[in-house]
């Protein structure tokens, strides 16, 4: 008889992600609409699928180099230069990872000592705080408040920095709020990072999903930042390649070497076939991105308009990513209770704001990466359900 089936202490305070927990709540007989998943409903561009299939059929099914196939790293170096004027050496300053997810975890594993404080945001992407805790660090939360358009206040950031602060995680365009920072706002955060000698993990996976003329500025391109920033990115959102699990990191060679070491022991290398798909994504026409963003924009307008017409629910208009983050405080239910209510009453699944941190309480995350017609139907159902609350 085994008496030792206990996970290690480091898992003690780790709970499952609050995004998937609500899947089981709905009545399977009628049609459930999921506005919960953070992935585009599009398929990858045809040339990506062709390259992927071709690579598989050609037998490119063996281990790849630990840091990624050279052609892909070279293409990624070109991208950094053409998008942001940043020069990275493909041999030592770029690492191909199993999605941004692995990249973030590698960064935390490589940088955070037990007891180190890691500044991150609340609300924030579900991976950050558990990731920090898993490696023995202590997450310290900068609030993202609605009255500040879910942007961090510089005063808050500065006041939370202590002698134990070593790393800061930033994510703009933001999940779950859709907030985007201006040039000056990023410059100010960069200045704080330099002044306090912080290393920044900048999660820029939504860099291309922007609206109303908003622009993305890569954090590493600001003065003093290239040498202290790990830019984390992914093919998941930009090319609708979530299932291919392709991400990458740019950074100074000392840091990339550290990530490489952990990566080597965790995954050995990234799926070779998927890397050829990613290569085709970068080398091929980029029109699919603007087409996808145009469609997201149409949905964003619909969702924000319809949500604001519902009494007791209010929603700012996000400038990036594909999430709306309406305030539901007036409905008198916790965000979890409201999600459960919506699932049962309307067969619509969203994510409670509290899944992203305690400051997310009172909000709902609606992913509009679902078909327009589905969104129309979901919003009708939500409106009807909320009326029953009144």
Q: Does 38 bind ligand PLP (CB under 6 A)?
A: yes
| Lookup: tokens for 350 | 């969203």
Closer to ligand PLP at the Cβ: 104 or 313?
Answer: 104
Size of the site for ligand PLP (CB under 6 A): 13
What is the smallest separation between the CB atom of 15 and ligand PLP, expressed in angstroms? Answer: 18
What is the smallest separation between the CB atom of 169 and ligand PLP, expressed in angstroms? Answer: 10
Straight-line distance from the first to the last Cα atom of the chain, in angstroms, rounded to the nearest whole number: 55
Q: Does 251 bind ligand PLP (CB under 6 A)?
A: no
Paired residues of 141 in beta bridges: 120
Q: Does 125 bind ligand PLP (CB under 6 A)?
A: yes
Identify whether the C-beta of residue 247 lies closer than 8 Å to the C-beta of residue 232.
yes
Cβ-count burial 16-48 (b if 16+ within 10 Å, e if not): eebbebbeeebeeeeebbbbbbbebbeebbeeb
Identify whether the C-beta of residue 176 lies closer than 8 Å to the C-beta of residue 123.
yes
Closer to ligand PLP at the Cβ: 208 or 306?
Answer: 208
Q: Does 320 bind ligand PLP (CB under 6 A)?
A: no
What is the smallest separation between the CB atom of 332 and ligand PLP, expressed in angstroms? Answer: 29
Binding ligand PLP (rule: CB under 6 A), the pick from 18, 44, 130, 247 is 247
What is the smallest separation between the CB atom of 99 and ligand PLP, expressed in angstroms? Answer: 3
The CA–CA distances, whole Å, from 201 to 48, 132, 153, 228, 282 equal 28, 12, 18, 9, 23
Closer to ligand PLP at the Cβ: 236 or 272?
Answer: 236
Closer to ligand PLP at the Cβ: 242 or 335?
Answer: 242
Cα-to-chain-centroid distance, residue 296: 16
Q: Does 101 bind ligand PLP (CB under 6 A)?
A: yes
User: φ and ψ at 60, to 5 degrees?
Assistant: -80, 60
The CA–CA distances, whole Å, from 30 to 27, 338, 375 equal 6, 20, 16
The continuous run of DSSP H or E covering 351 comes out as: strand 351-352
Q: Does 36 bind ligand PLP (CB under 6 A)?
A: no
C-alpha angle with apex 132: 127 to 135, nearest 5 degrees? 120
Q: Does 242 bind ligand PLP (CB under 6 A)?
A: yes
What is the smallest separation between the CB atom of 205 and ligand PLP, expressed in angstroms? Answer: 5
Site string for ligand PLP, 139-178 (x = CB under 6 A): --------------------------------x---x---
Select from 212, 238, 216 the least CA-distant residue to 290. Answer: 238
What is the smallest separation between the CB atom of 201 and ligand PLP, expressed in angstroms? Answer: 10
Closer to ligand PLP at the Cβ: 109 or 310?
Answer: 109
Closer to ligand PLP at the Cβ: 67 or 242?
Answer: 242
Q: Which residues bind ligand PLP (CB under 6 A)?
A: 38, 99-101, 125, 171, 175, 203, 205, 234, 236, 242, 247
């Amino acid at each position: 008889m085994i008496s030792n089936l206990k996970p290690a202490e480091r898992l003690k305070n780790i709970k499952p992600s609050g995004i998937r927990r609500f899947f089981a709540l709905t009545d399977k007989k009628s049609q459930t609409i999921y506005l919960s998943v953070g992935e585009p409903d599009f398929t990858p561009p045809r040339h990506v699928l062709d390259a992927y299939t071709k690579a598989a059929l050609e037998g490119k099914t063996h281990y790849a180099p630990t840091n990624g196939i050279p052609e892909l790293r070279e293409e990624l170096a070109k991208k950094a230069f053409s998008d942001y004027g940043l020069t990275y050496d493909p041999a030592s300053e770029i690492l191909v990872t199993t999605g941004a997810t692995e990249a973030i975890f590698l960064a935390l594993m490589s940088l955070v000592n037990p007891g180190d404080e890691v500044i991150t945001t609340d609300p924030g992407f579900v991976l950050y705080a558990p990731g920090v805790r898993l490696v023995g660090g202590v997450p310290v939360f900068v609030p993202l408040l609605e009255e500040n358009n879910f942007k961090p206040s510089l005063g808050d950031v500065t006041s939370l920095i202590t002698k134990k602060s070593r790393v800061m995680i930033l994510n703009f365009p933001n999940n779950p709020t859709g907030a985007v920072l201006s040039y000056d706002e990023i410059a100010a955060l960069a200045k704080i990072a330099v002044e306090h000698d912080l290393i920044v993990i900048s999660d820029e996976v939504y860099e291309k999903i922007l609206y109303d003329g908003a622009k993305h500025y890569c954090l590493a391109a600001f003065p003093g930042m290239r040498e202290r920033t790990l830019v984390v990115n992914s093919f998941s959102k930009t090319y609708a390649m979530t299932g291919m699990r392709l991400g990458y990191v740019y950074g100074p060679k000392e840091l990339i070497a550290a990530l490489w070491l952990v990566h080597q022991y965790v995954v050995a290398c990234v799926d070779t076939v998927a890397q050829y798909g990613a290569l085709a994504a970068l080398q091929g026409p980029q029109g699919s991105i603007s087409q996808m963003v145009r469609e997201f924009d149409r949905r964003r307008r619909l969702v924000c308009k319809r949500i604001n017409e519902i009494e007791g629910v209010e929603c700012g208009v996000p400038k990036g990513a594909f999430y709306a983050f309406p305030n539901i405080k007036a409905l008198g239910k916790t965000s979890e209770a409201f999600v459960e209510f919506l699932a049962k009453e309307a067969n619509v699944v969203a994510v409670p704001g509290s899944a992203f941190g305690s400051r997310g309480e009172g909000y709902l995350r609606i992913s509009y990466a679902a078909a327009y017609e589905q969104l129309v139907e979901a919003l009708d159902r939500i409106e009807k359900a909320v009326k029953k609350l009144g």
